[in-house]
């Protein structure tokens, strides 16, 4: 289920301009930033002029909202699925870490924009998305805490450890190269292992 529609080859398949525009915008937002991106540039990417975009989207700001809300909701959805799959604390922490990293590799543009452009969202969307993010982060913290109380994890601070895991995953979206030789799920598994080792529950 690829989210990008590539070059129009001829004139078959319905263009789905809305998606096409959002994909172009996403790439530009990720590459040069929301404020630096102009409507004309987005139009260029799909071969139309800037003002023509308004036949398909309502504003630049709304495009950012759509991208960021979609990103955060999808991320939470996957995290919840990982948690609902059950297992012991360590299993669940490995799974949500893997989900976290895999998403940040597979959807590095969405993830990168999702973290970098929050302050360019106008209220009330900004607060709404920050709430989602807090919920997302809290699942890591609660799991680390649970593991520590069960003596599965050893850590001096649930908060710092969970932030460390979160941040090393977020970092992936900044350097991951999809044309490289490492697959997202491979990277995810490696990072999950790093995380549990960090929490003092390595397989030694």
Partner DNA sequence: CATCCTGGCTAACGAGTGTTAGCCGAACGT
Partner DNA sequence: ACGTTCGGCTAACACTCGTTAGCCAGGATG
- Binding residues vs its own copies (CB under 8 A): 31-33, 35-36, 116, 119-120, 156-157, 160-161, 163-168, 170-172, 174-175, 187, 190-191, 193-194, 197-198, 200, 202, 204
Question: CB–CB of 178/111 below 8 Å?
Answer: no
Ordered DSSP codes for 74-131: HHHHHHHHHHHT---HHHHHHHHHHHHHHHHHHTHHHHHHHHHSGGGSPTTHHHHHHH
Contacted entry of its own copies, DNA, none for residue 61, CB cut-off 5 to 8 Å set by kind: DNA
Shortest distance (Å) from residue 14 CB to its own copies? 35
Cα 31 to Cα 3: distance, rounded to the nearest angstrom: 18
Contacted entry of DNA, its own copies, none for residue 38, CB cut-off 5 to 8 Å set by kind: DNA
What is the distance of C-alpha 20 from the center of its chain?
Answer: 19
Q: Which is nearer to its own copies, 84 or 119 (CB)?
A: 119
Shortest distance (Å) from residue 168 CB to its own copies? 4
Q: Which is nearer to its own copies, 50 or 200 (CB)?
A: 200
């Amino acid at each position: 289920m690829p989210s990008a529609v590539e070059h129009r080859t001829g004139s078959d398949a319905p263009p789905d301009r809305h998606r096409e525009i959002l994909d172009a915008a996403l790439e530009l937002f990720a590459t040069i930033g929301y404020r630096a991106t102009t409507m004309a540039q987005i139009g260029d990417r799909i071969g139309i002029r800037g003002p023509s975009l308004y036949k398909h989207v309502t504003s630049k700001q709304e495009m950012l909202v759509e991208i960021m809300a979609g990103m955060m909701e999808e991320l939470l959805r996957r995290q919840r699925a990982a948690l609902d799959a059950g297992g012991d604390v360590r299993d669940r922490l490995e799974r949500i870490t893997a989900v976290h990293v895999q998403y940040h590799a597979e959807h590095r543009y969405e993830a990168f924009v999702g973290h970098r452009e929050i302050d360019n969202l106008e209220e009330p969307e900004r607060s709404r998305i920050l709430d989602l993010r807090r919920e997302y982060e809290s699942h890591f913290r609660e799991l680390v805490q649970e593991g520590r109380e069960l003596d599965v994890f050893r850590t001096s601070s649930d908060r710092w450890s969970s932030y460390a895991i979160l941040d090393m995953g977020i970092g992936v979206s900044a350097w991951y190269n999809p044309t490289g030789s490492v697959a997202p799920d491979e990277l995810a598994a490696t990072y999950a292992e790093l995380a549990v080792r960090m929490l003092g529950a390595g397989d030694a």
